[in-house]
Amino acid sequence: MLFALILVLVGCKEQEKTNAEIKEQADKKDEIKEEVKELTIEDYQNNNVDELGEVPIMMYHGIHHKKNSETEYTGGNVDKNGYQRTTEAFINDLEFYYNEGYRMIRLTDYVDGNIDVELGKSPIILTFDDGLSNNIKVTGLDENGNIIIDPNSAVGILESFKEKYPDYNVTATFFVNGGLFQQKEYNQKILKWLIENGYDIGNHTYSHVDFTTVNSKKTSEEVGKVYELLDSFIPGKYVNIIALPFGSPYGLEHDNMNYIFNSNYNNNTYETKSALRVGWKAESSPFSSEFNPKFLKRIRAYDNNGEEFDIEMNFKLLEKSRYISDGNINNVVIPEYKESILNVNLQRKLIIY
């Protein structure tokens, strides 16, 4: 009997404690709520929030360990057309994007409309084509068998920015061919390391084919063979996005496009959700009626004295047209005058101001 009474008393005490805890938790929640209080129209105005603004998708190829003065071409270009870039220029690009209020997001998140950057900041996407060894150069393995990355390769430089700016979400998508990163003994470890460290791998066709020069069967094979290869190393962990070699075909109406987006190879079917073009300017917001994920423009990351859609020219244009976030991934916040270009099938909470 006494034993039972004690149990009841202990039970009550437990109950009291729990109630006190619940109240404490509720108070804490209120405090947090106050901290992340709803933004006002004034906040949107002060930050020029515009989630129907444009998003730059930067197109890089090789990053070469050189100073700009060591090349015979304009600015940080390593070749005549500026597809290859110096390490000096690439570091300056990253500092520039950061200082201009751009924050990196994953290409696949952009395509899916998951844009997670702070209030007043703008998204930017980095892409690298061709799987060149200077994208992620491995110099050996440490005592634990982990890859050692050359600090002057693209990923080495990106990783140093991760340390320098903790609020700079460092990420990029690498589009590879059959040779992956041209480092046979390390390719598998490289792919695994990249996806484990916030980077993405996409498809650039097995042999860098111009789709307008081959038939539908070859088109399917060129796409499927890369997915098959990636499945053997990082099953299901790559992105189903293709960067079109030479930016070809130039139009979605080309007959081979169907085989690019739906490829049959080796008794498997592969679906591709987006195709990336070559050049020349920023893309629409994923919430715009003009947005077409099947065919996305990129900005060539090169220098041309502020002309011909080089980096300088594009970012000048973006000063007036850029996407500016409200800092809330679930809301789409747009100024009233943009309402006419809003995608009507928006799956988010819409705020017009």
Which x/- pattern over 102-141 shows residues binding Zn ion (rule: CB under 5 A)? Answer: ---------------------------xx-----------
Site string for Zn ion, 296-335 (x = CB under 5 A): ----------------------------------------
For residue 208, the minimal CB distance to Zn ion (Å) is 6
Nearer to Zn ion, 130 or 303 (CB): 130
Residue labelled with tokens 């990029």: 172
Q: Is 59 or 318 the residue whose CB approaches Zn ion more closely?
A: 59
The answer to whether residues 176 and 204 touch, using CB atoms and an 8 Å cutoff, is yes
**Cα–Cα distance between 89 and 91 in angstroms, integer?**
5
Query: Which residue is associated with the tokens 């130039």?
Result: 250
Tokens 């070749």 — which residue? 79
Complex with Zn ion: residue 241 or 342, whichever CB lies closer: 241
Alpha helix ranges (H) inside 145-282: 154-164, 187-196, 216-233, 257-261
Q: Does 222 bind Zn ion (CB under 5 A)?
A: no
Run of H or E residues at 263: strand 262-265
* Contact partners, residue 64, CB within 8 Å, separation at least 6: 78, 84, 85, 86, 87, 134
Select the residue whose beta carbon is closest to Zn ion and give its number: 129
- What span, in angstroms and rounded, lies between the C-alpha atoms of 116 and 296? 20
Nearest approach in angstroms of CB 204 to Zn ion is 6
- 82 or 245: CB nearest Zn ion: 245
C-beta of 39 vs 154, nearer to Zn ion = 154
- Cβ at position 65, least distance to Zn ion in Å: 21
Residues in 226-265 that interact with Zn ion by CB under 5 A: 245
List contacts with Zn ion (CB under 5 A): 129-130, 245
